[in-house]
Amino acid sequence: MKIHFITGNENKVEEAKKKIGPLGFEVIQKNLNPPEIQSDNLEDVALFSAKWVSERFSEPFFLEDAGFFVDSLNGFPGVYSAYVFETLGYMGILRLMDGIEERSARFAAVIAYHDGKQIKSFGGEVSGHITQEPRGSNGFGYDPIFIPEGESRTFAEMSAEEKGRVSHRGRALEKMQEWLKEKDTTDR
Ligand code: IMP
């Protein structure tokens, strides 16, 4: 099944291809740059963008909105993750965390999928902690400073495939894929 991923982020596309490609989904990147509303709820952001795209594009697609939440910073940068990354980068987060021992953080992602008629959303999360220094050169965004629970490597030290097994995006993709498979069986 062909499915478009509306995003300008090639790393996200690579991760999605590695995750659901082997399960029979051909992921095609489409960069439509939908508007994003300012909200403290990732699902609201994803659903709004998906509705905007659905009014302009009639083939099955999904898009995704993600955020990085640091516990000792009361969830910051959260829904401002993209802006904070552009302005301060991950080094800015490390500086804010300087001297702070409690380093737990999580990534969350919400996928909004549109099949031509309805929009359905799927969430995924991964908990972990923030390193003292950046490590690794794979991936994107905050990957070099985040170690998922049960691992010793940062996301940036993992391959896209390894990251996708435990990541927020991987988990949301898994849920979407399971739902699509089930829907396919009941539609037949
Ligand atoms: P977006 O709006 O979904 O692209 O995500 C907001 C920001 O969070 C992006 O600018 C990235 O810097 C960061 N981000 C999202 N997903 C990831 C990830 O899987 N790894 C590292 N950073 C991420």
Q: Average pLDDT in the 147-157 region?
A: 98
Q: Is the pLDDT of residue 188 over 70?
A: no
Transcribe 118-154 into DSSP letters: -EEEEEEEEEEEE-SS---SSSSTTGGGEEETT-SS-
To test ligand 1's pocket by mutation, which of 42, 64, 81 has the most ligand atoms within 8 angstroms of CB? 81
Going from the Cα of 82 to the center of ligand 1, the distance in angstroms, rounded, reads: 6
Q: Average pLDDT in the 157-167 region?
A: 97
Task: Give percent above pLDDT 90 in the chain.
Answer: 94
d(CA 90, CA 135): 11
- pLDDT tens, 124-133? 999 999 999 9
**Among 40, 44, 65, 184, which one carries the catalytic annotation?**
65
* Atom of ligand 1 at shortest range from CA of 140: 21
- The verdict on the CB of residue 142 being under 6 Å from ligand 1 is yes
- The verdict on the CB of residue 141 being under 6 Å from ligand 1 is yes
- Residue whose CA is at the smallest distance from ligand 1 atom 9: 82
Residue 187 confidence (pLDDT) = 74
Query: How many domains does the chain contain in total?
Result: 1
- The verdict on the CB of residue 81 being under 6 Å from ligand 1 is yes
- Residue whose CA is at the smallest distance from ligand 1 atom 12: 141
The beta-strand segments (E) located in 55-103 are 61-70, 77-78
**Residue 55 corresponds to which tokens in the numbers above?**
């009014």
| Spacing of C-alpha 125 from chain mean position | 9
**Residue 137 corresponds to which tokens in the numbers above?**
């050169």
| Nearest residue to 122 (alpha-carbon basis) of 19, 31, 35, 24 | 19
Query: How far is the CA of 66 from the CAs of 57, 107, 142, 168, 181, in angstroms?
Result: 22, 7, 11, 8, 24
Going from the Cα of 181 to the center of ligand 1, the distance in angstroms, rounded, reads: 27
- The verdict on the CB of residue 85 being under 6 Å from ligand 1 is yes
Q: Average pLDDT in the 40-59 region?
A: 96
Task: Give percent above pLDDT 70 in the chain.
Answer: 99
Q: Is the pLDDT of residue 186 over 90?
A: no
Residue 169 confidence (pLDDT) = 98
d(CA 45, CA 64): 9
d(CA 14, CA 6): 13
Range of the domain at 79: 2-187
| Nearest residue to 79 (alpha-carbon basis) of 103, 113, 46 | 46
* Atom of ligand 1 at shortest range from CA of 143: 21
* Atom of ligand 1 at shortest range from CA of 12: 19
Active site residue 65: yes
Q: Average pLDDT in the 159-182 region?
A: 96
> φ, ψ for residue 30 (rounded to 5)?
-135, 125
Q: Average pLDDT in the 149-166 region?
A: 97
- Looking at the DSSP bridge assignments, the partners of residue 130 are 146
Q: What is the pTM of this model?
A: 0.96
Helix and strand totals (H; E) in the chain: 6, 7
- Return the H-helix or E-strand segment holding 110: strand 104-114
Structure-token match 């990541």, residue found: 167
| Nearest residue to 114 (alpha-carbon basis) of 182, 187, 31, 56 | 56
Q: Average pLDDT in the 30-44 region?
A: 94
Q: Is the pLDDT of residue 122 over 80?
A: yes
More confident residue, 184 or 188: 184
Lowest-confidence segment of 16-20, 61-65, 115-119, 162-166 by average pLDDT: 115-119
CATH value at residue 165: 3.90.950.10
